[in-house]
Amino acid sequence: MGIRFGLNITSGIIAAVLVFATLAQASRVFAPLAAAFFIIAIVWPVQKRLQSWIPKLAALAITVVATVAVCLSFASLAAWGFGRVGQSLVADLTRYQALYAATVTWLDGHGVSLAGLWAEHFNVGWLLRAMQYVTARVNTTFSFWMIALVYVMLGLLEVENIRRKIEQLENAGAARVLLDGSVATAAKFRKFLLVRTMMSAVTGLLVGAFVWIAGLPFAFEWGVIAFVLNYIPFIGPFVATLFPTLLAMTQFESWPAVLGVFICLNIIQFAVGSYIEPRLAGSMLSISPVVVLFAIFFWTFLWGLFGTFIGVPMTLAMLTFCAQHPSSRWIADLLGGPEQPKLRTL
């Protein structure tokens, strides 16, 4: 019995490694599909309610347009905030030049040739490569979301059809796992987005309040930027912390004050993103806070920036489906939170 159990564990580990290796190598195929599943789970209640009143295609059009409008509104908020702040940064360009000159002079006096390092590493060739990289990333991101949008439209049309096919499977146990797991996963996806929105709002309020108390301009804009960027774990908060610090360099004459702004902003981001949110998510979603952080790093390693956002939902889906079957329920019990959801029936 023990040998058989050990063989099963070994086979499961090998299978998991092969699956994750495939996901990493074929990220351009599977990442948009994962994004589509996540979006479908979020917007399906809207689609279902609408198509009970109006034709399915009309309901699909309204749902897709509303989804795109919400995404564009978030992007517009970030663009508006950065546009307002960017005008101020450009206006203070002479101050930054003076600050740069003073820094170069100080470093030269301590034996560090910043001008030489700048000429060696940040030359025209580096600038061209950076522009090519940014252009490629923009094109890749646009293609990614276009493919995901096509998946979303096709998936919303097929949800009920796929459900009927699963219900007609000869293997009743497999059908139950798929149906119950899908329902529970979709519910957790919506809870995850709710938690993310709540924590983003808290982060935006705290950042805006601190910037206002510190006497920096554009407190409301910084709060909006922090709110939007907080949907991207780690990378978004880093950007929302770095730029106010750059602004503080021209507003305060002492480096301790600038350092204090940087430290306080990081404390806010760390407290909300690395302490409060993982515990709130773990409580509401029945997942360990440690697993929440690990999922973010792991899926970022596999899929890059998109994996940073989708890491927790992907892990939630896996644990939820594991909880639906007795042979794999121990995984959900081991990695889950204090309470695991009971099996749900449709």
> What's the pLDDT tens digit per position in 85-109?
877 777 777 776 677 677 767 666 6
Task: Round to whole Å and give the CA distance between 62 and 56.
Answer: 10
Residue pLDDT, tens place only, 239-296: 788 888 877 877 776 778 888 888 998 888 888 877 787 777 767 777 777 787 788 8
Task: Round to whole Å and give the CA distance between 61 and 196.
Answer: 27
pLDDT (0 to 100) of residue 308: 80
* Angle, alpha carbons 159-161-165 (nearest 5°): 115
Contact 322, 331 (CB under 8 A): yes
Distance, CA of 32 to chain centre: 14
Q: Which amino acid is at 284?
A: M
Domain spans of the chain, in order of start? 29-335
> Residue 345: pLDDT above 50?
no
Span 47-51, mean pLDDT? 91
Looking up tokens 């203070």 gives 92
Element (DSSP H or E) covering residue 326: none
Residue pLDDT, tens place only, 135-189: 666 677 778 888 889 999 999 988 888 988 888 888 888 888 888 889 989 998 9
Contact 310, 34 (CB under 8 A): yes
> Residue 319: pLDDT above 50?
yes
C-alpha radius of gyration, the chain, whole number: 24
pTM over 0.85: no
Nearest alpha carbon to residue 247 among 75, 101, 93, 80: 93
Nearest alpha carbon to residue 346 among 176, 187, 185: 176
